[in-house]
Amino acid sequence: MISVDAIQVEDGDTLKITVADGVERVQLIGIDAPEDTENPKFAADSRRTGLSQETLLSLGIIATGHLKKLITAGYGYELRWEPEKPDKYGRLPGELFTQSGVSINARMVEEGYAIALPGASSTLQSLQRQAESERRGLWGVLAKPTRLWAGADSSD
The answer to whether 4 touches 78, Cβ cutoff 8 Å, is yes
User: Mean pLDDT throughout 53-62?
Assistant: 96
Residue 58 — φ and ψ, nearest 5°? -60, -45
% the chain with pLDDT above 90: 79
pLDDT at position 148 over 50: yes
Q: Measure the CA–CA gap between 126 and 147, rounded to whole angstroms.
A: 16
Choose among 123, 91, 92: nearest CA to 109.
123
Q: Where residue 91 falls among pLDDT bands split at 50, 70, 90? A: very high
Give residue 17's pLDDT: 92
* Bridging pattern class, strands 92-98 and 22-28: parallel
Element (H, E) at 139: helix 138-141
Please provide the average confidence, as pLDDT, over all residues in the chain: 92
92 vs 21, more confident: 92
Residue spans of the domains in the chain: they are 2-105
The arrangement of secondary structure in 2-105, i.e. its CATH architecture, is Beta Barrel (2.40)
In tens, the pLDDT along 109-137 reads: 999 999 999 999 999 999 999 999 999 99
Q: Measure the CA–CA gap between 14 and 94, rounded to whole angstroms.
A: 10
Give residue 44's pLDDT: 93
Choose among 131, 94, 106: nearest CA to 4.
94
